């Protein structure tokens, strides 16, 4: 997939760009992956609600070698009008590749091997300011992956700690409308896309992606299989 002029990986929507609220890790050159909005404890986080440690205007800026872990949802690609493939972010950002050790890939392989594959269903629309998305059901398996990763690497704080609580699992459909046009545009988009729901996707892999830096491409670095002793680091 082509370059993404992004905050996090895919850029902020016009409606929320000033407060850096729609990070989208994952536009890759291999056509499927990435990050964006939702919340914890089954309550929704307003992307305009940030922690006390607000970033600077460029607080989302990614450095060369920054990584993220995402789940691809290829069944939803035809519904996505944003400039990135359909995905659910597991953890953005992960570690910069400069901080990878000899055991990082082995540790990730073993971590994901401890989680069984699962099925996600996307059956309803939700919105953040300027963002239209689909929440996955159930979201517990995705949250469990994130929890395992942050327990092993506590320095990998979801969304750099900007959102309190962290954004919940979600699949962004569109984030291109400004505040004056988003409601009408997304009403029309929901009507157009509703006949294609629900979307059901079997999740058996998690993708590690890496960026060349702010505004640059994200590309695949590795793919990890969920579940069982045969789980493996697939590519690099």
User: Please, is 115 exposed, middle or buried when counting C-beta atoms within 10 Å of its C-beta (0-12, 13-18, 19+)?
Assistant: middle
Residue 17 tokens, joined: 């760009």
Residue 112 domain flag: yes
| CATH number where 202 lies | 3.90.1140.10
Question: Which of the two residues, 83 and 149, has the higher pLDDT score?
Answer: 149
Residue 171 domain flag: yes
pLDDT tens sequence across 150-167: 999 999 999 999 988 888
Residue 130 domain flag: yes
pLDDT tens sequence across 180-218: 999 999 999 999 999 999 999 999 999 999 999 877 789
Residue 6 domain flag: no
Strand (E) positions, the chain?
67-72, 87-91, 118-122, 126-128, 131-134, 136-137, 171-174, 199-203, 205-211, 218-225
Residue 2 domain flag: no
Alpha-carbon distance 73 to 81, whole Å?
14
Distances in Å between the alpha carbon of 75 and those of 31, 58, 171?
Answer: 13, 33, 12
Q: What is the pLDDT of residue 163?
A: 84
Please name the residues in contact with 117: beta carbons below 8 A apart, sequence gap of 6 or more: 202, 203, 204, 226, 227
Q: What is the pLDDT of residue 22?
A: 42
Query: Helices 140-152 and 104-113 sit at what angle, rounded to 10 degrees?
Result: 150
pLDDT at residue 12 greater than cutoff 80? no
Q: What is the pLDDT of residue 229?
A: 56
Residue 58 lies in domain: 17-225
Q: Which conformational region is residue 32 in: left (phi greater than 0), alpha (psi within -120 to 50 degrees), or beta?
A: left
Residue 7 domain flag: no
pLDDT at residue 233 greater than cutoff 60? no
Structural domain count of the chain: 1
What's the mean per-residue pLDDT of the chain?
A: 79
Residue 156 domain flag: yes
Q: What is the pLDDT of residue 232?
A: 52
pLDDT at residue 230 greater than cutoff 80? no
Q: What is the pLDDT of residue 150?
A: 98
Residue 99 tokens, joined: 């901080």
């Amino acid at each position: 997939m082509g370059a993404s002029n992004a905050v996090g990986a895919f850029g902020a929507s016009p409606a929320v760009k000033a407060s850096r609220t729609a990070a989208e890790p994952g536009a890759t050159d291999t056509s499927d992956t990435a990050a964006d909005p939702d919340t914890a404890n089954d309550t929704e986080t307003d992307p305009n609600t940030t922690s006390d440690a607000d970033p600077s205007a460029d607080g989302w800026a990614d450095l060369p070698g920054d990584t993220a872990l995402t789940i691809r949802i290829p069944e939803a690609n035809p519904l996505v009008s944003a400039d990135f493939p359909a995905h659910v972010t597991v953890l953005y950002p992960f570690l910069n590749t400069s901080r990878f050790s000899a055991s990082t890939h082995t540790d990730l392989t073993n971590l994901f091997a401890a989680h069984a594959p699962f099925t996600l269903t996307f059956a309803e629309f939700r919105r953040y300011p300027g963002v239209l998305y689909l929440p996955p059901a159930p979201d517990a398996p995705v949250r469990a992956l994130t929890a395992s990763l942050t327990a092993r690497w506590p320095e990998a704080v979801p969304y750099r700690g900007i959102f309190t609580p962290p954004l919940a699992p979600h699949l962004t459909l569109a984030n291109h409308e400004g505040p004056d046009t988003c409601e009408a545009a997304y009403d029309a988009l929901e009507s157009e896309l509703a006949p294609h729901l629900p979307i059901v996707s079997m999740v058996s892999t998690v993708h590690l992606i890496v960026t060349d830096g702010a505004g640059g491409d994200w590309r695949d670095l590795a793919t990890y299989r969920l579940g069982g002793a045969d789980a493996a680091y697939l590519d690099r």
